[in-house]
Amino acid sequence: MKIYLVVILLPLTACGNTPADEALVQEAYFEVSLLKDDQTVTAELTYMGDGENTEISYGSDLFLFHLTSDDNDVDEGTMIDTLSQNAELASGESITEEININEITREELAEGSYTIEAEARFTDEDGESREIPVDKTFSVEER
């Protein structure tokens, strides 16, 4: 009986590498994830290539954050300047940026449904410009 229990539990624990609150997009050899926790939004770019490493160039911030709501009149975001940084990423290595919702909008979020988008904008080592968006919908309940 215990053998069957172990056989049943192993597949269940191996499932779901991405938390329920995380959105994930893969493009070419890059992965972009977005996690919202209370007032904090975390975006992450991970190099997933077969090569040992890759180099990317990006502005003062790697991610452009955008907050919208159909329920409320909200359409605000952050800006990225011209390319000013270089980073070398080993396979499996990430660059993470964290932002507070209050840095995107100064107003208190009213009750309703919102979508937060993080878009990684960078140029890869082949000179190809990449824009990889990932978004997450969340709700604000009446307080």
pLDDT at position 20: 60
**From its phi and psi, is residue 75 left (phi > 0), alpha (psi between -120 and 50) or beta?**
beta
pLDDT at position 39: 85
Question: Which tokens go with 22?
Answer: 């995380």
CATH topology of domain 22-140: Immunoglobulin-like (2.60.40)
pLDDT at position 80: 63
Residue in this structure with the two tokens 């960078």, named with its chain if needed: 122
Whole-number Cα distances in Å, 130 to 16, 46, 57, 84: 28, 13, 10, 16
Which residue, among 55, 60, 56, has the nearest Cα to 82 in the 3D structure? 60
Count of other CB atoms within 10 angstroms of residue 138? 13
pLDDT at position 4: 29
Question: Which tokens go with 93?
Answer: 């290595």
pLDDT at position 121: 92
Residue type, 137: T
CA separation for the pair 98, 44 (Å, rounded): 9
pLDDT at position 83: 61
Percent of the chain with pLDDT over 70: 83
CA separation for the pair 132, 87 (Å, rounded): 17
Residue in this structure with the two tokens 């919208």, named with its chain if needed: 68
| Under 8 Å between Cβ of 58 and 45 | no
CA separation for the pair 91, 88 (Å, rounded): 10
Count of other CB atoms within 10 angstroms of residue 47? 22
Q: Which residues of the chain have pLDDT under 50?
A: 1-17
pLDDT at position 42: 93
